[in-house]
Amino acid sequence: MRTKKTTKVKKKITADMKIGDLIEENPEAMETLYDVGFGCVGCPMSVHETIEQGAAVHGMTKKDVEELVKELNRRKGK
């Protein structure tokens, strides 16, 4: 009898994902966020604020957010 191997598949990262959820599911994302100026990754607001909202606070444009999300997904799991 064969048993199924279960692997946890990480969800695709989107701009409307809460920063706290992102970090919980992808701790490696902290480095990418710090690199673009998100020094508030551990701040209490991160559990309520989306990536897009956090980016707006840090002066990022919609295009910046799109690039950030692409990069977060590219680095996911590394």
Taking the model in full, what pTM does it have?
0.79
How many Å from the N-terminal Cα to the C-terminal Cα in the chain?
33
What pLDDT, on a 0 to 100 scale, did the predictor assign at position 60? 92
More confident residue, 29 or 3: 29
**Domain spans of the chain, in order of start:** 19-75
The upper half-sphere exposure of residue 52, i.e. CA atoms within 13 Å in the direction of its Cβ, equals 8
